[in-house]
Amino acid sequence: MSAKKKGATKSGATDAPVATTASLFGDEGNRDEYLALVAELLEHDRRYYVDNNPSIADVEYDQKKKRLDALEAAHPDWVVAHSPSKRVGHTPLSGFAKVERAVAMLSLDNTYSAEDLTDFYSRVMRGLQGAGDKRVPELVVEPKIDGIGIELTYKAGVFVLGATRGDGLIGEDVTQNLRTVKNLPMMLKEKVDLLVRGEVYMPRDGFDKLNAERLSAGEEPFKNPRNATGGTLKQLDSRIVAKRPLRVLLYEVVGEVPGIATHSGLLDYLRRLGLPVYPDTKTVGSLDALLADTKVWQDKRMSLPFDVDGLVLKVNDLSQREVLGFTARAPRWAIAYKFPAQQGTTKLLDVELGVGRTGVVTPVAVLAPVELAGTTVSRASMHNWDQIARLGVMVGDFVLVEKAGEIIPQIVAVVKERRVGRESELRAIPPPSHCPECGDVLIKRPGEVALRCPNTKPCPRQLREAITFFCNRDAMNISGLGDKLVEALVSARHIRDLADLFSLTKAQLLSLPRLGEKSADNVLFAIASGRAEATLSRFLTALGIHGIGWVWAQKIAEQYLSLEQLLRTPPDAVYRLLVGIHGFGEERAGAVRDYLSDPQSQALLRKFVSLGLSPTEPVASTGPLLGKTFCITGTLSKPRGDFQKRIESAGGKFTSSVTKKTSYLIVGAEPGEDKRAAAIKNSVPILDEAALEALLRGETP
């Protein structure tokens, strides 16, 4: 089912105050109209950032926002603290005021095993039965977000105060910073007084982007999303905070809400008010169900867009909570179940050098094995030598290792106190001067921190990586050439460049160890299929030209419909044409010109042509998707490449990013937040896989 466009006339929320367009965009304004405009824009923000169901076109929102800015500039005395204009940050503070709370923010006791959970459940049962409550307790299971605890105060439905946990009783006033958090409503859907607690966090994709920007600027990256969140909240300049991808999830109401008797009821109440709450909490009614759900979460947590370090288990019935009460430091009715450790300390045994497809030489840490998140880690990324220098790490050091995004291990700190008495065992890690694979002198391009092999030998490691990239599904789509086979072909010198793939013989394949006749036939068939199905855009993608992924390869292929036409065009003329394409830019166009001008590249391309590979770009003249452009996010029932082929065969185009020219965004399981947001911003219809299938059949979804 397709999502509603931003231009839709209605959305699921209908109780927001809405000002009339005529009154807002007239020449005159009054304070009532200004307040109505504030309320309307805040409602649109909530629908966009919390509900993911906007109800206004982007251009109309921008017009209303400009009107708001004009009114506030003309009448600064009208400006209210919850105005949408505060989302962009404000004048830096000199410090944070202290906030003393009447009800302390307590910590939770931790558990680490099924035995601990059983003990907790037994204590709850004994406590209730001892007080005469014979009912079997229900427990609500929620993810324990690895963020920073906060408490929010709303007065008559308006956000007025946000404070950190601090020591539980006294926190810091970070209201100005929290106003910039996009999914935190400044106004509720009801004019109620509310004290609510939750967590500020940073999604993984936003954290990765922030760290990439910091590394590019020569700044030290944050260790993990929680570290980045804490550092951001402590910024005195909220304009900096506004540029960081913070988000909020709320999970606890302080005080009673008439008519609500359970924690799950309180969560529903928060949702009705328009507040962001985790959407998939579960209520379990027995110990067996609780233990089963914690096992499910071991894998489920990996699919979340933010870090969680465990689960929070809470008695659902509020009257039972009152019976159970508190210890001196924690409630008896709730507990935190912690997942296996994501960080660990181990010894750095050595540093190996890896060479990638583009020639970048990367240091890889060899570690004494350490258990992280239930797996044994013995290798970790060290990024580059600038990062090694920042950490001050040496071979022989004890280091803190973390699974970044719970997937890729990396060294985040050196345990320097463990150097004492071991100084003679430590060895510095200088940057290399030559490629470890081919011996070529390493270079560093202007503006880059990476050391790179220029591949003039050629470099066997780069060739292996280049072949693997050339054959992948989104490039030439040649299956069956695994890493071991590619390594054997390069080692035997049957393949000395990419074009040699298309001159491979059965005899050459059979000469390799442990490769039978049937396997050889399968490899040759896959290569022949890749040749037959090759398009110019796939081929240009497969070449791995710097900065040219398949989106930009498609742009080139649209201009030069065949490899022969591209080769007939002088490289400088190619540059002039490409640099004029919107978004292409001088750097990408220059990379294409440099590639086409390079004698080694020219020889390779001529060799491809001589071996019968001279792809063209199909121009569909018919088909149900003719003239339509599609982007996909998330996981569908088949590989994305399969859908790309079907879309292109039906006359459509496939792109990896969403722009105003995109016709549809197809959303599968676990979709990317950025593409969905771009679709909403650009009024691009959002469809599911069933709707795509309908379009492919020529039907209306």
Task: Give kind and range of the element (H or E) at residue 252.
Answer: strand 247-253
244 touches 202 (CB < 8 A): yes
Check if 645 is active-site: no
d(CA 106, CA 39): 34
- DSSP E strand stretches across 316-359: 334-338, 343-355
3-state secondary structure of 556: helix
Place of tokens 């100084």: 423
Q: What is the DSSP string of 602-618?
A: HHHHHHHHHTT---B--
| Whole-angstrom distance, CA of residue 353 vs CA of residue 351 | 7
Rounded (10°) angle between helices 204-216 and 225-233? 80
What is the rounded CA–CA span in Å between residue 588 and residue 567?
A: 18
Q: Which of 86, 144, 653, 675 is catalytic?
A: 144
Cβ-based burial of 254 (10 A; exposed 0-12, middle 13-18, buried ≥19): middle
| Sequence-separated (6 or more) residues with CB below 8 Å from residue 622 | 651
CA separation, residue 327 to residues 108, 334, 363 (Å): 10, 11, 49
Residue 529 class from Cβ within 10 Å (0-12 exposed, 13-18 middle, 19+ buried)?
middle
Nearest-angstrom CA–CA distance, 503 and 292: 55
Question: Other C-beta atoms within 10 Å of 427: how many?
Answer: 13
Q: Which three-class secondary structure state does DSSP give residue 596?
A: helix
**How many other C-beta atoms lie within 10 A of the C-beta of residue 37?**
25
Please identify which residue in the block is written with the tokens 């990586």.
465
State the catalytic residues: 144
